[in-house]
Amino acid sequence: MQEKKPQKKKKELKVKFSPFDVSIDVPYGTTLLDCIQNANLPLKTTCGGKGTCGDCVVQVVSGKFRTKSSAALPGPLASQGYVLACQTEVTDDIAVQLPQFREIEIKSIVDSKFFIEKREEISGVHELNAAIKKIDLQLSSPSLEDNYSDLKRIEQQLHKKLPIKKLSCEYSVLKKLAHAVREDKGKISVVLFFTDSDAAIIDVFPQSEKKKIFGIACDIGTTTVALHLVNLQNGKIEATTSSLNQQITCGEDIISRINYAKKPGRLGKLHELIILTINKLIEKAAKSARISPEDIYFGSFSGNTTMLHLFLNLDPQYIRLEPYVPTFNQVSTILNRDVGIKMNPEGRIICSPAVGSYVGGDITAGLLITPILKDSKKTSLFIDAGTNGELVIGKREWLVTCACSAGPAFEGSGIKCGMPASEGAIEAVEIRKDGALKYTVINGSKPKGVCGSGLVDLLAELFVNGYIDRHGKFKMEKAGEKIVDSEEGKGFLIAEGKNSFWGKDLVITEIDIKNLIRTKGAVYSACMVLLKNVGLGFDKIDSVYIAGGFGQHLNIDNAIRIGLLPDLDRDKFHYIGNSSLLGSYLILLADKNKDMVNETAEKMTYIELNTEPGYMNEYTGALFLPHTDIKLFPSVMQLLKL
């Protein structure tokens, strides 16, 4: 006799989005665009769902769906599972990739020309003496005459080997001790966390397990998060991963995240999103290096003050309220089990110190990659043009700093054709004498968009070749034939649809150009205010170090031509990329670097631009290409033959 089981009618279908790790349940037949909007994911569409703009391209990775073909989606893409979200209905549990938000590739700058050449000049030491160490011990066999406790025998051996003053032992280690010391005949390894001359035993295992220990250095950017997985026994970077900060679904910049966090439960959500972002990067790095995340015992984190507050689940509200008082600038070591990073629960977390609410640990860590903290002779200027722009000027004896709201334009956000410096990004642009636009694409494929360094080039080339005026407006007499209509107004054609990855024209609009000008203006004017404040002219600056997410190569000439950087001798400039990440790496490697940044953060003078009288004037003057006062840019004057 057979029983007929009633078929359960499945009403809701699951749609899973990567890279955001967001899932929603929707009824059969819902369009993907509605799913994305319901899930509050950052995918914009210009045509409003008519299937004409092609903005809502997504890739269906698994599951069945029903889609209409569209002229806005080229055939080759369709064959790889790309669809227009507005033209596609969900008929199954499906997994969708939002391609604009794909992983960002950040390269380690440890192997960069800059780092190799300047290694001796930078402030941070590049040597291995981490606060976390693995020590091998051989315990004697206990007997009736020598029956010290397991812990005591370890303590005795450690005191013999190392000059430790106060030695403590984590509770979780006590719980493993009896087994560990008996497993391999007293041959054990202990993992120690050192604080000055004190040490805590944070793990123990039989030597037969042949474990290595690892650490992570991580830069928590407002837009992107990047991470090095480091072998703590030789200092080698075993893997580098990076991705969008998933908090971006809750706001693009610091202020919008702080505002988002106001309502109950939302601070927790922001915290979870950054932990999720970091944990995915660790997972990926651990997989590629073939290690277990349990073997990661140390994390060195940098980020702006707000990011580090959210990372530690601390309310950031007071950061944006006068007098801008954060909960902490410097904090002692934190236990990972309080934070929940995917590493050993007994692992230790350290955060680079902030100077104030708007000059954070990313800046202090970044300074390690410059000579500024140890050089008494030269005066240096450090510019980090991230979502926020931060500047530092000074030398070993004195340091002055300020911050400005630059916006993430040069990181590829908020610009129609912008994207992070990853596969498919145009990273360099040149307009030839014949008017042809020449570009270089990362990994050489068809272009998907333009990253920071490409945008700097594009803006400079449009300007010096007379396609735009000093306000950033198109000069139609010159640019006319290159200008196309787009949903967001007139746009300069960078690549035609047939030549672009998404099959649609790649353009830069006047709105985008305004945005870029505002960003470069914010940075430059902050620079001016800082200099005036310390009573120095640009002529007194010996070196300029530029950090930020522009991409691999920043064309300094072009950055000067648009007025982002001051018009100084080109050999004074050093583009150092993600110095926050590299600074975290140096802090991870050697406690000496941590002490150095902690002392630095204490002694820096912070200028609050919000209340600085001259700033708005300076900013307004900088909203031109390269500047209202073009005399500040003699090389540009010369180029333009003014």
Residues that bind a second copy (CB under 8 A): 142-144, 146-152, 166-169, 171-172, 174-175, 177-179, 182, 195-196, 312-315, 317-318, 322-335, 338-339, 354, 356-357, 608, 611
Looking up tokens 């893409």, which residue turns up?
77
**What is the full DSSP assignment across 282-335?**
HHHHHHHHT--GGGEEEEEEEE-HHHHHHHTT---GGGSSTTT--S-SS---EE
Short-list 307, 302, 350, CA closest to 326: 307
Nearer to a second copy (CB atom), residue 199 or residue 479: 199
Task: At 355, give phi and psi (nearest 5°).
Answer: -90, -35
Work out how close the CB of 152 gets to a second copy at its nearest, in angstroms, rounded to a whole number: 6
Beta carbon nearer to a second copy, 169 or 640: 169
Rounded to a whole number of angstroms, the minimum distance from the CB of residue 334 to a second copy is 5
Nearer to a second copy among residue 319 and residue 421 (C-beta)? 319
Residue labelled with tokens 């002229």: 71
> Residue 206 phi/psi, 5° resolution?
-65, 145
Who contacts 578 (Cβ-Cβ below 8 Å, separation ≥6)?
Answer: 106, 109, 219, 226, 547, 548, 549
In angstroms, how far apart are the furthest CA atoms of the chain? 99
H/E stretch holding 257: helix 254-260
Closest CA to 517 of 627, 430, 427: 627
The one-letter code for the residue type at 174 is L
- 139/244 with CB nearer a second copy: 139
- β-bridge mates for residue 189, sequence order: 136, 205
Q: How far is the CB of 182 from a second copy (least distance, A)?
A: 8
Question: How far is Cα 139 from Cα 131, in angstroms, rounded to an integer?
Answer: 24
Residue 170 or 427 having the CB closest to a second copy: 170
Q: Which is nearer to a second copy, 313 or 440 (CB)?
A: 313
Q: Which is nearer to a second copy, 150 or 411 (CB)?
A: 150
> How many CB atoms are located within 10 Å of the residue 261 CB?
24
Residue 142 Cβ vs a second copy, minimum distance, rounded to whole Å: 5
Smallest distance from a second copy to CB 316, Å: 9
Contact criterion met (CB below 8 Å) for 299 and 312: no
Residue (121 or 602) nearer to a second copy, CB: 602
Task: Identify whether the C-beta of residue 247 lies closer than 8 Å to the C-beta of residue 258.
Answer: no
CB of 614 to a second copy, least distance (A): 16
**8 A C-beta contact, residue 311 and residue 271:** yes
Between CA 246 and CA 268 the distance in angstroms is: 14
Helix residue spans in 576-633 (DSSP H)? 579-589, 591-603, 615-621
Least Å distance between CB 607 and a second copy? 11
Give CA torsion, residues 454, 73, 436, 509, to 10 deg.
Answer: -60
Strand 94-97 vs strand 12-18: parallel, antiparallel, or unpaired? Answer: parallel
DSSP structural state of residue 424: T
* Residue nearer to a second copy on the CB measure, 70 or 305: 305
Give whichever of 196 and 209 is closer to a second copy, judged by the CB atom. Answer: 196
> Based on CB atoms, which residue is closest to a second copy, 77 or 139?
139
